Amino acid sequence: MSPLSVNLFDTAQGEFDHVAEMLHLEPGMRQLLREPLREYHFLIPVHMDDGSVQVFKGFRVQHNDARGPAKGGIRFHPHESIDMLRALAMWMTWKCALMDLPLGGGKGGVICDPHNLSQREVEQICRGWVRQLARNVGPAQDVPAPDVMTNSQYMLWMLDEYEAIHGVRAPGFITGKPVGMGGSLGRVEATGFGVIHVLNEALKGLGVSPKKAAASVQGFGNVARHAIQKFNELGGAVTCVSCWNNQDKTSYAFRKNGGIVLEDMLDVANGFGDVDPEKMRALGYDVLPGDEWIAQEVDVLIPAALENQIHEGNVGNIHSRVKIIIEAANGPTTPEADAVLRANGMMVIPDFLANAGGVTCSYFEQVQSNTNFYWKKSKVLELVEARMIAAYKEVAQLAREQNLYMRDTAYMIAIRRVANAVKSRGWV
């Protein structure tokens, strides 16, 4: 099966079913938690710059809000699908529960490609998305945030539209806003830094100093860049980075003995993370096919791009030196590849633990927005780090005590918390 044909919602439901069986959840609870509570499909008509009208498809999925308002990003992508959003919303439920945040899981998206749209056209899509959902989202219902190919400016347009419709000030409606307009300091760094806080704890458990560790990273978006930055600050070397180049529709891996220099890549990257291979070659980097990131002789693999990137076709290429795979992306490992990794005894730190720094910081942004009191960056990042480390230690301890695969262990903790909330409310 091609990795592109893997249905992410099937993966999410399969992982849930596996752990639900381990937990002996009753049938009614299983039926409720394996599907979204509600979802919205709608159309967004936009007057384009050339005078035509183009209609874009939009979605919002609210998987479960027993523990609090739904929380989750908005993705703009030409291949967006409702099943992908269902999966991501479900994972957000588990992620928020695992981090013990008073939030549920949601996810939204629009089928579009911002690369090919003007700023005015993108703004109209953002405002149209809110107009279609204005009665079904809000600080006490569902709190969106940025995700793939959306950013703080998009969130501000959405906030402005929401406030105009309701005639109120509601900065807690959305997170990932610009700093100075209700956004939190530390939000940009939180997800990538959180990945490395967890990785550092895992390395300590294996008796490995980050100063003697090497990593290979797939992706060069916001999460990957800040993960590389933090890993370098701890003394680790990222020797290979793979990323997509939208100019020639090709993926490249850039490798340098002793470690890539982050500033080199930042200097030649555009706002979407595309890196010019010829400029990197001129700087003395090896330029390899994009899928070579997974075959590098390193201690750590960090998939930080898209879903289904470690699959049965390439899982066998992982070098024997690799000790940890930490999933900075959402759903980067297919079930078939995960079964191989599980059988081989690989330490896989699952996505909804590894990349939870973003939603944790989003929660802190929501708290600040709702109280109209904003913290210093150092405090925000300190709180995120403490939550990430505490969650990792809880998962690692239970996995060690019961000799469980770490993905199963994280699911067990999260699902129990959500099931308890559902039961306490009397839903089941």
Tens of pLDDT, residues 58-107? 999 999 999 999 999 999 999 999 999 999 999 999 999 999 999 999 99
Q: How far is CA 26 from the centre of its chain?
A: 30
SS (H, E, C) 11-61: HHHHHHHHHHHHHCCCHHHHHHHCCCCEEEEEEEEEECCCCCEEEEEEEEE
Instruction: Look at residue 275 and tell me whether its pLDDT is greater than 90.
Output: no
Report residue 9 as tokens.
Answer: 């919602």
Same domain, 240 and 144: no
Give, as one character, the DSSP assignment of residue 178.
P
Shared domain check, 194 and 159: no
Query: Are 151 and 205 in a shared domain?
Result: no
305 C-beta neighbours (distance < 10 Å), count:
25
Distance CA 220, CA 204 (A): 26
Would residue 147 count as lying in a domain? yes
Instruction: Say whether both 48 and 160 belong to one domain.
Output: yes
Q: Is residue 6 part of a domain?
A: no
Note if the pTM is more than 0.85. yes
pLDDT of residue 426 exceeding 70, the answer is yes
Where among 339, 354, 369 does a domain terminate? 354
Same domain, 67 and 204: no
- Three-state SS at 393: helix
Question: Are residues 127 and 205 located together in one domain of the fold?
Answer: no
For residue 403, is it within any domain?
no
Phi first, then psi, for residue 43 (nearest 5°) are -115, 145
Domain end among 320, 354, 388: 354
Please measure the distance between the N-terminal and C-terminal CA atoms of the chain and give it in whole angstroms.
Answer: 37
Question: Residue 279 and residue 300: Cα distance in Å, rounded?
Answer: 27
pLDDT digits 0-9 by tens, 348-367: 999 999 999 999 999 999 99
Q: Where are the alpha helices (DSSP H) in 116-244?
A: 119-133, 152-166, 187-205, 222-233
User: Quick one: pLDDT at residue 271?
Assistant: 64
Tell me the C-alpha distance between 223 and 177, whole Å. 17
In a domain, 135, yes or no: yes
377 in catalytic set: no
Question: Which residue out of 107, 177, 230, 256 is catalytically annotated?
Answer: 107
In the numeric block, which tokens belong to residue 180? 């100075």
Mean pLDDT throughout 165-178? 97
Same domain assignment for residues 166 and 202:
no
Q: Do 120 and 218 fall within a single domain?
A: no
Q: What is the model's pLDDT at position 2?
A: 47
Looking at the fold, whether 279 and 337 belong to one and the same domain comes out as yes
Are 154 and 226 in a shared domain?
A: no
pLDDT at 307: 87
Residue type, 247: Q
pLDDT value of residue 5? 65
d(CA 368, CA 331): 30
* Confidence bin at 297 (pLDDT 50/70/90): very high
Minimal CA–CA distance to 176: which of 135, 148, 134, 136? 148
Range of the domain at 119: 36-170
Q: Taking all residues of the chain, what is their mean pLDDT, rounded to a whole number?
A: 95
More confident residue, 368 or 2: 368
Domain contains 398: no
- Residues 48, 54: contact at Cβ < 8 Å? yes
Q: Tell me how far apart the alpha carbons of residues 85 and 81 are, in angstroms, rounded to a whole number.
A: 6
Query: pLDDT tens for residues 111-122?
Result: 999 999 999 999
The span from the CA of 143 to the CA of 237, in Å, is 37
Per the model's pLDDT, the better-predicted residue between 240 and 269 turns out to be 240
Question: In the listed set 170, 202, 222, which residue is the last one of a domain according to the structure?
Answer: 170
Residues 251 and 160 in one domain: no
Q: What is the pLDDT of residue 249?
A: 84
289's tokens:
């096919």
The count of structural domains within the chain is 2
pLDDT of residue 4: 52
pLDDT digits (tens, 9 = 90+) for 358-414: 999 999 999 999 999 999 999 999 999 999 999 999 999 999 999 999 999 999 999
Residue 206 located in a structural domain: yes
Give the CATH number for residue 220: 3.40.50.720
Residue 235 CB coordination number (10 Å): 11
Tokens of 142: 């569902």
The enclosing domain of 98 has a CATH number of: 3.40.50.10860
Pair 380, 186: CB distance under 8 Å: yes
Q: Is the pLDDT of residue 244 over 90?
A: no
On whether both 122 and 197 belong to a single domain, the answer is no
Segment 331-348 shows an average pLDDT of 96
What residue has token string 């209609």? 55
- Does 386 reside within a domain? no
The answer to whether 317 and 161 have CB atoms below 8 angstroms apart is no
**Rounded average pLDDT over 42-54:** 98
**Per-residue pLDDT reduced to its tens digit, 123-152:** 999 999 999 999 999 999 999 999 989 999
Indicate the SS3 state at residue 399.
helix
**Residue 1: pLDDT above 50?**
no
Residue 47 lies in a domain: yes
Alpha helices in 71-118 (DSSP H): 82-98
pLDDT of residue 67: 98
